Amino acid sequence: MTDWVKIAEDQEVPKLKINLNADEPAATTAASKDNEPDVADPAETSLLIKILGKGLVNTNQSLDIQQKNPNSPLHSVKTFEALHLKPELLKGIYAMGFNTPSKIQETALPTLLADPPQNMIAQSQSGTGKTAAFVLAMLSRVNVALDHPQVLCLSPTYELAIQTGEVAARMGQFCPDIKLRFAVRGEEIDRNSKITEHILIGTPGKMLDWGLKMRLFDMKKVRVFVLDEADVMIATQGHHDQCIRIHKMLSSQCQMLFFSATYDKEVMDFARLIVSEPTIIRLMREEESLDNIKQYYVNCKNEDGKYNAIQNIYGCISIGQAIIFCHTRKTAAWLAAKMTADGHSVAVLSGDLTVEQRLAVLDRFRSGQEKVLITTNVLSRGIDIEQVTIVVNFDLPVDLRGNADCETYLHRIGRTGRFGKSGIAINLIDGEKSMAVCRTIEKHFQKDITYLNTDNADDIEKIGN
């Protein structure tokens, strides 16, 4: 095992340096996308959330469990001992600081480890313990007496595969006989050799190359197939078909495990193709709500008018930390330059930054080094910043056709029960179109968005109370 602990550690530095828009150099990407709506890349967002996550997310939501095969036993455990794991694995879990199984692990682990193996489709938000659960299943199923791949784990990108490998390396640190190999770009292998490692973690393209094109291992001998981040996988060009091709090569006895943070129809159809008679476990995300958020709109003539509105608000009330959302990178950069010139400490987070740069920006903002974070839709769902008191929509969220994007509005403004309850949202309006968007949002949530006159100091002071 030591070998691949080293490999995982060696990968840790380069993984953050990589520009995930690898097909386009960062400079070209930035220049050509300045005026377009800035959108979040699902793989980048997922990686950011994973790296930013500071431990287990506890939720009060209940589990929803469905079983397609009524004969499969289903029970839950309250301790890791109750799973009767190999002592070395149990030691690895405790060494990671895990004392008791998380909510999803309580129910998922007995099914994941059951004999005969059962298929599973699991859904829960980032940070709830999915990776730890399926990595434990992967490690437990290995028969070290056999020197061929027995477990395949597919991730949508290089970086996400490395993250999973790191968890496996840590959890398996006391199992020196279990061997892992990364099947990702940059890993080369002699065409005439055979892969002897027990676990392969990688991306679909490389896995297909090794298993199908080069026949470096026998896909029929694989006992566990894990598909991680199914929603991100679907969103990544070409991965859907590659996964299906891999799946077709596997034996019908292979245990199929499918993990995702969300399941829309496309992801569920994909899951159904791959996983037969699954036990489906879902832990719903705590819903964001607009309760206790005071919402306002301000009429402005143009972008300069919007800027004046922000200045007036800052002039009248003391604001802890604020996030300002813009539609394009260009507007975000323009606004940041103006606010900085006026003496505000401002950070900008937009899609032209690498994941490493975004992490640095978020870390600084979270620690209070900057008071204002100007961003676009790249700062999206799943990245919660607790201490923010005011959210300003410099541009209201709209979809590609210019219609109100209520879901994005909720993710920008809403809070979950876990975080501070009260907050202020200010929507800057510059014309009929944006007023119509504002009204649609108001109607959708049935929560008033009140008029605010930022030329009137008394009016502004009221929102601070």
**Contacts to ligand ATP by CB under 6 A:** 49-50, 53, 55-56, 96, 98, 101-102, 105, 124, 126-132
Q: Which helix (H) or strand (E) holds 298?
A: strand 293-299
Q: Which of 373, 375, 387, 392 is nearest to 452 (CA)?
A: 392
Measured from the CB atom, is 117 or 127 closer to ligand ATP? 127
Q: What is the nearest approach in angstroms of ligand ATP to the Cβ of residue 324?
A: 27
Q: What is the nearest approach in angstroms of ligand ATP to the Cβ of residue 56?
A: 4
Q: Is residue 254 helix, strand or coil? A: coil
Cα 243 from Cα 459, distance rounded (Å) = 57
> Position of tokens 């699902």?
42
Measured from the CB atom, is 43 or 313 closer to ligand ATP? 43
Measured from the CB atom, is 108 or 243 closer to ligand ATP? 108
Q: What is the nearest approach in angstroms of ligand ATP to the Cβ of residue 101?
A: 5
Q: What is the nearest approach in angstroms of ligand ATP to the Cβ of residue 261?
A: 6
Q: What is the nearest approach in angstroms of ligand ATP to the Cβ of residue 195?
A: 26
Q: What is the nearest approach in angstroms of ligand ATP to the Cβ of residue 68?
A: 23
Tokens of 13: 């530095």
Measured from the CB atom, is 105 or 434 closer to ligand ATP? 105
Measured from the CB atom, is 1 or 208 closer to ligand ATP? 1
Q: Give the angle subtended at the CA of 142 by the CAs of 138 and 143, to the nearest 5°.
A: 170
Cα 303 from Cα 334, distance rounded (Å) = 10
Measured from the CB atom, is 45 or 393 closer to ligand ATP? 45
Q: What is the nearest approach in angstroms of ligand ATP to the Cβ of residue 239?
A: 17
12, 166 in Cβ contact below 8 A? Answer: yes
**Cβ atoms within 10 Å, residue 81:** 9
Measured from the CB atom, is 243 or 383 closer to ligand ATP? 383
Measured from the CB atom, is 78 or 191 closer to ligand ATP? 78
Q: In what order do the strands lie in the sheet with 388-393?
A: 346-349, 372-375, 321-325, 388-393, 423-429, 293-299, 450-451
Tokens of 226: 């894990």
Q: Which of 141, 225, 222, 145 is nearest to 177 (CA)?
A: 145
Cα 204 from Cα 240, distance rounded (Å) = 9
Tokens of 249: 């090569």
Q: What is the nearest approach in angstroms of ligand ATP to the Cβ of residue 53?
A: 5
Cα 135 to Cα 87, 152, 224, 263: the distances in Å are 16, 11, 11, 21
